Chains A and B, each alone.
Chain A
């Protein structure tokens, strides 16, 4: 509980402060090795206290329901060691909306057990050798933020997520792992992810050889999202301030092909990744990060906005146990004009990439990446010929996105990303 005694103590001793209270519970159901394995009930609550004394900031946290006052005192002790910080906390605003769907109450353990078992039955029925794991979870959480300028708001959020993963081992000992999932504010059916898993496995049943050199490559929305994730690192106000982003001082410059527009949007009402205000109280806002190929904005929290002389974008997010830091919410990559089906049909010979392993472990600050293709297919004459294995794409993402590419007219959800398929005419491919 955020108690009055702690609030008045902080008002006396701190120049400013904010307290975040996060609580929630979830009931995850997990199927392992094609059978129910465990049901969990998880409950948590915690407080984070940030205080500024004489211009310097200290922070402490606790998950003891009676521990707020202790945490506040620890934060005050730490403050003298902090850096000077100079920004204003938000004032109280209108009552917020909630990224919450009451249909989350329809989550029932027995219902989810039936859903999971029916997916397992149907996949195992068709592929007896497959091993299926399913994780389903529903969580309801609440966030409350109180600060020294009178801000006191809270909201509820609901999040349903499910993942179906399948492992299939071929007679020669080689194997394929396929994963499909969904995220929503309310319980959903598992038919769609299960159908996608099935389709991908059918396509991967045959392994085909592949050449090396430069080839045309289509990335699925999921694979393309992973690549866009590398680009986003450089659009974070934190990397801009530290001058480790290639995009510092490039605001407004056209660095990419004009067909590239990327938007960060925490205001999408139906997404479980949305919020009415960020974890410092700044109102959520939709903004283009890349607009028609130009660098349009960097995401910030209060600290990095003040350091960079930019407006706060409402991207300061945290749990109760850490200080805020800028992070992305729903990321939308603008669609193109070609249906993905016709992109594949129009490809004489090339590669379709769906899952990487090892992406992002290279020196990604410069756009260089190197990804083993965990799940990828060779396309011959406009159709999937089979799976390619032990292959790798090594290229520079920024060069790729500055050059020619085609985006599909259909977009698909991949975690918190909504992205199209992307076709690059010539990438460096090794086997």
Chain B
């Protein structure tokens, strides 16, 4: 153990990392991850309102003190972090599905199809939405601006390669498409996002109709 008593972090093997101690940083990150995974498992089993700090600590096999060091804001900070974490994992899974898309049309079509499926088949999300949506939606709303920027940034290179209609600004189009894509994923309205023909029509007609040059607007795939 370090003999430096003036550095409170030095007495704590799982405390905040520092540039001088990459091991401590790694351990702190690993602990944080373990706690997030365990808290997520608790929420999956019992829901948000029944998940306590003690539940999460026990499931992660850490002490309460360790948990509070990782999440000084306590239960509220932990639950917000769980939402942010699963949100990031959701988009990570989505990225894996769409990364091979070559064109803007393909990436949007694949994105809508897989994201819709991912939400529909997400058991924890669906259960929370049914039983206790307010907390989740509050946290997701906090995430929303960042998620939107992330999707817009992801679409930007596809827009840079695409033949844009005159007067269309690529960054404005990226922002607009990100908003609309997230809106359709969240609430498809009258569109059936399990129907590939409808998705093609939505993407190539409604979403890209004003963005791409008319002469190069691709025909929808038949069937």
Partners in one complex: no
